A and B are shown apart, each in its own frame.
Chain A
Amino acid sequence: MKFQNPAEESAMPTYRIMDADGKIVDNTRDPQSASDEEVIGWYKNMLTVSILDLIMFDAQRQGRTSFYMVSAGEEGVAVGSASALTPDDVCFLQYREQGVLIQRGFTLKEMMSQLFANKDDYGKGRNMPVHYGSEKLNVHTISSPLATQIPQASGAAYALKMQRLINPNTPERVVACYFGEGAASEGDFHAALNMAATKSCPIVFVCRNNGFAISTASIEQYKGDGIASRGLGYGIDTIRVDGNDIFAVREVMREARKLALQGDCRPVLVEAMSYRVSHHSTSDDSFAYRAKREVEEWKRRDNPITRLRKWMENKGIWNEDKEKEARAAIRKKVLQEFSAAEKVKKPPIRAMFEDVYEEITPEARAQMKELKRLIETYPKEYDVSQFEGGSKSLE
C-alpha cells in the first residue's frame, strides 16, 4: 500500500523559448512564427498597455475616473496569447487582460469611452471602469464576480462546437477563457473544467498565475503544484509556460488552439507564470503586504516588455531612438483620447432602465416617470446636464 504524496512528485516544468536577456534557449521551435512587423506590433501593444496603466492610475488618483486596474508584468500573457487566436475566436476575460483587447483591435477611443462611462461606451455607462466588452471583437463584457466567466466559457465553447455540427461550413472556432490563480479557487473553476472535459469543449483556459490575489500570496491560495497540476485530474491536456516570454506564450497558445479543435474537440489548460508587479487595483496599496524591494527586483530582473525589447535589439530591429519615438507617440495618442472621452456626455438617464428586460416593464416605466417628476420638481437637487438629453430621455 502506498499513498501518493504530492510533495514527492516533481513540479510541472515551465516552458520557455527565450531567457530574461532575450536570448533564445530552445531552438527546437521557431520563436518567430510571425514577421518582424508583427513582433513589433506585439511590442507596441504591450507598451500601450503599460503606458495606459501609468496614465489611468494617475487619473484615478486625481479623481478623474473612479477606478482602474493595471496589468503591469502580465502584458506578455495577454498580448502573446491573443496573437495566436483568430478574430472569430470568442474571449471571456477576468479584468486584467487589457492586452488581449488591444491585440484584438480594441481602440484607445473605445477603451477611454468605457473608462469614462460616456455615451459611446458599449456598456452604456453601467459597469465599473476596465469592464470592457466588444461585439465585433467577440469579447464578452467583463463582470466583477470572479470565475463566473469560466463555466460560461465552457458553455460558449460547446455552442461553437454545435454550430459546426449543424453547419460544417462554419469556421473552426475556440473559446479563450482567462482568469487568475486566485479565481481558480472558486467553485466555478471546478465546475467549468469538469464540464468542458466531460462534454469535449473546444476551449483554452488561460490561468494568469501572478503570485497574488489582492494580498493573498499563492502559498495561502493552494497547496498543490500551482493550477496546472489540477488540469490532469480533470483529464485535460495541460502546460505551464513562462508568462514573461511572449514567444513561449504565443507558441503554447497556437498549439493549444490546434489541440482544442482536434477530433471531437477537447479543453486545454495553460498556466502562465508571471508576477503582479503593480498594486491589485487603484483601491489597493500592495506595500501593505509585500516588500517594495521584492517588487523592484521583479521589475528590474524580468518583465515581458524588456525581454522582448532585448530580443528585438539583438536582432537589430529595434533601438533606443525607436523606443523613444514609440513611447512618445503612444503617450500622445492615449492623452488625446483621454481628453476627448472626458468631454463626451454621459449616456441618457433612460439607459438606466433599459436592457434589464428586452422591453421596459410597466413597473419600470412607472419608475421612470416618477424619477422624471422628482428631477423636475427639485431641479436644484439634481444636475442632469452631463447626461445626454437631460431628464427628457425619461419620457
Chain B
Amino acid sequence: MKACRRLTSVYRRSIASSTAKSRHYATQAPPPQRRLNLPTDFKNTPLLHHSSKTFSNTPGLPHSVPSTRLNLYQAVNAGLRTALEASKDVLCFGEDVAFGGVFRCTMNLQSEFGEDRVFNTPITEQGIVGAAIGMAAEGARPVVEIQFADYVYPAFDQIVNEASKFRYREGHTGAGLGGMVIRMPCGGVGHGALYHSQSPESLFCHVPGFKVVMPRSPTQAKGLLLSAILDSEDPVIFMEPKILYRAAVEEVPTEDYRLPLGKAELLKPGADLTIISYGRPLYNCSAAIQAVEQERGVSIELIDLRTIYPWDRDAIIESVSKTGRAIVVHESMVNYGVGSEVSSVIQESAFLSLKAPVKRLGGWTTHTGLAWEKYIFPDVTRIYDAILESLDY
C-alpha cells in the first residue's frame, strides 16, 4: 500500500533538502505587503524551548539538566533509543525502519540494538499492526511505524476491531496491549497531495481503546513517546507532523523524562478567547494571536491538546468558562473532525459562559489536491479572521 518505493525516496529527498525547500513552497512569490501568511519563524517562536531555561515553564520537563538541540525526527529517534535501552521488551519495526526510516526517525537503532529488536517488515500495514497486537498480548512493547498516516487504512480493521477492543473483550483474562505504539507521520508538507498529507486522527477518536497523541515539538515528541511506550497500559497512536521533522528545532533534555498522556498544555494564558489546537497549526495560531493582540490589546489563551483522545476536557472547559470564547483549529477536515467534538463539549459544559459561537477551523471538506494545499489548511490569515469575528460577535 506504500507509494511506489521510487516515488517515496524522491519525496523524502525533497523533504531532506532542508526546510528551505518547504519554505520555498510556502512563500512562492510573496506579495510584498503580506503580513499574516508569513513563513513560520521556528527560530523565534515562543512555542519552542530555545534554551533549557524555559523547561520550568512546562510541567513534566526536568529542570537544570543537560540538553541538546534536536529537531523533531532526532527527538523521536532519541525517544526510541531511550525506550530500547530502558526495556528489552521494546521492539521497533515497520517498512524500511532498518536503514533508519524514510524520515530518519529510526537512524542507527538497528546497529545499536540488533536486528532482532529493530527490523524491516514486508509491506503489509495490516500485518504490521496485527503482529504488534500479538506481541503486546504476550508482554512485548512493540513500537511500529506506518510509513505515512495515509497508509494506515489497510490496518484499520486491526486497529478498530482488534486492538481497540482487546482489553475489553479479554475481560478477566487480564490481557492488554500496554506498550503498543503505532507511529505515523501525518499532515501537510506543502506538496504531499492526496496520499502524503492526511491527518486521520478523528477516525481513531471515534472508537475508544487507543490514546491518540500528536506532539508539536521535539521535547513533546520525546516525552510523550516515552510515556506511550514505557508507562501506558493502553495502546497509543502517535502521530508525528512530518513538516516539523526538520523544521522544529529546540533544546531537548538528554535524560529519560515523561510527559503525561491525556493532559493538555497551557501555552499562553489569556482572558478574552481560548484557542485549542494540536500539532503543526499551533504555530499558525501563535502568529495569528500575536497579530491580533498587537492591534486590539486583548489577551488570548492558547492550549495544546497534545492527547487528542481521551482529551483533557477539564482544562478546556475551565479555560473557556473564563474567556467565554473558543476556536478549535486543526489541519484535518472540519466535518466530523476533532473540532466538532471539542466544540460540542464546550457548548454542553460552558453554555452560560459563551459570548460567541464556538468556531471550528479545519481543512476544507475536500481532498488535499496538490496545487491547493496552502488554501486547504487553516493558515494565519484564516485564524486571524476567526479571532476577530469571535471577538466582534
Which parts of A112-145 form the interface with B (CB within 8 Å)?
121-124, 126-127, 131, 133-135, 140-141, 143, 145
B190 within 8 A of A: no
B136, B169, B173: the one contacting A143 at CB < 8 Å is B169
Q: CB of B263 within 8 A of chain A? A: no
* Chain B neighbourhood of A374, CB < 8 A: none
Task: State whether A123 touches B170 (Cβ < 8 A).
Answer: yes
Q: Which of B94-129 contact A (CB under 8 A)?
A: 116-117, 119, 121-122, 124, 126-129
Binding stretch for chain B, among A14-22, A71-79, A156-164, A211-219: A156-164
Interface size on A, residues (CB 8 A): 51
Q: How many A-B residue pairs have CB under 8 A?
A: 165
State the Cβ distance, B125 to closest chain A Cβ, in Å. 8
Shortest Cβ distance from B393 into chain A, in angstroms?
29
In the assembly, what is the distance between CA of A191 and CA of B132, in Å?
A: 13
Does A153 make an interface contact (CB < 8 A)? yes
Instruction: Report the minimal beta-carbon distance from A140 to chain B, rounded to whole angstroms.
Output: 6
A145 close to B314 (CB less than 8 A): no
B128 cross-chain contacts in A, Cβ below 8 A:
195
A187 at the interface (CB under 8 A from B): yes
**A-binding segment of B29-37, B43-51, B159-167, B281-289:** B159-167
Q: Which residues of B sit under 8 angstroms from A362, Cβ to Cβ?
A: 310, 313-314
Question: How far is B134's CA from A157's CA once the two chains are assembled, in angstroms?
Answer: 8
Q: Tell whether A188 is near chain B: CB-to-CB under 8 Å.
A: yes
Instruction: Give which listed residue, B116, B173, B314, contacts A133 with CB less than 8 A.
Output: B173
Closest to A134 in B: B173
- B residues less than 8 Å from A1 (CB atoms): none
Q: Are A358 and B121 in contact (CB under 8 A)?
A: no
**Does any Cβ of B come within 8 Å of A151's Cβ?**
yes
Are A159 and B139 neighbours in the complex by a CB distance under 8 Å?
A: yes
Q: Which residues of chain B have C-beta atoms less than 8 A from A355's C-beta?
A: 167-168, 170-171
Q: Chain B: interface residue count, which band?
A: 35 or more
Partner of A156, one of B119, B135, B162, B178: B135
Interface 1/0 per residue, B142-181 and A, CB below 8 Å: 1000000000001001100110010111111111101000
Instruction: Report chain A residues within 8 Å CB of B233.
Output: 358
Contact of A158 among B135, B169, B172, B209 (CB under 8 A): B135
Contact with B along A22-58 (1 / 0, CB 8 A): 0000000000000000000000000000000000000
A198 in the interface (beta carbon within 8 A):
yes
CA A188 – CA B174 in complex, angstroms?
Answer: 25
Asked whether B310 lies within 8 Å of A187 as measured between CB atoms, the reply is: no
| A363 cross-chain contacts in B, Cβ below 8 A | 310, 313
Contact, CB under 8 Å: A195 / B169: no
What is the CA–CA distance of A134 and B209 in the complex, to the nearest angstrom? 21
Question: Is B203 part of the contact surface with A, judged by Cβ < 8 Å?
Answer: no
Q: How far is the CA of A351 from the CA of B172 in the complex (A)?
A: 11
Report the minimum CB–CB distance from B182 to chain A (whole Å): 13
Contact B133 A155 (CB under 8 A): yes
A199 within 8 A of B: yes
Q: Chain A residues near B165: list those with CB within 8 A.
A: 143
With A158-B131, A198-B122 given, name 18 new contacts (CB 8 A). A143-B162, A145-B157, A148-B130, A151-B129, A152-B137, A156-B137, A158-B135, A162-B140, A188-B130, A192-B127, A195-B124, A195-B128, A356-B168, A357-B209, A358-B176, A362-B310, A363-B313, A364-B208
18 pairs of residues in contact across A and B, judged by CB atoms under 8 Å = A123-B169, A123-B170, A151-B126, A154-B131, A157-B134, A158-B131, A159-B135, A159-B140, A163-B139, A187-B126, A195-B121, A195-B122, A195-B128, A195-B130, A199-B119, A357-B167, A357-B211, A361-B208
Leading 4 A-B pairs by shortest Cβ distance: A151-B130, A155-B134, A191-B127, A155-B131
